A = this chain, B = another copy of it.
Amino acid sequence: MLPIPTKFTLVVGHGEGDKKLTAFDAALLDAGIGNMNLLRVSSVLPPKCAFENVFKLPAGSLLPIAYGSLTSDVPGEIISAAIGVGIPEDPSSFGMIMEFSGFCTKDEAALKVEEMVREAFAMRSLALKEVKVKSIEHKVERCGSVIAACPLFYETTGGGY
């Protein structure tokens, strides 16, 4: 079986590019995940997966990640993305990750994603301890992109990286 991630963090980024994919790439770089191979997952916080404020992985790593993103080439548009992680009351339980993106402010995006986390916990009759949220907004110049993400990674031992 594939190894279950043991660590998570929350990152956000925004950026501009010549094309939609390079704008997305600029947002990834700003979020600190531009040099990794993102493997998009949908979207559960494994039990005992611990929050780390910083994370550093080798370039090219296959990184399981849940994210919301939006890219627009309409100058002047406000685009936002938010990521929310619900931490369970019971430390042996899993939690839930929700993502949102839309043409709104970062505060509106954060509010929506928090509601979604609460709904996901309610559906499972899981007691919620805390919702960690990060959100970001960007005003498009030429072609802009936002991302809000929850990278899932692994305990590493030693000083290799």
Contact = CB atoms under 8 A, between A and B. Distances in A.
Interface string A38-52: 111111111101000
A44 B49 contact: no
B21 A100 contact: yes
Interface in A1-53: 1-5, 17-19, 21-22, 25-26, 28-29, 34-47, 49
Interface residues of A, number: 53
A152 to B, nearest CB: 7
* Copies of this chain in the oligomer: 3
A156 B42 CA distance: 23
Interface of A: 1-5, 17-19, 21-22, 25-26, 28-29, 34-47, 49, 57-62, 64, 93-94, 96, 98-100, 112, 115-116, 119-120, 123-124, 152-154, 156
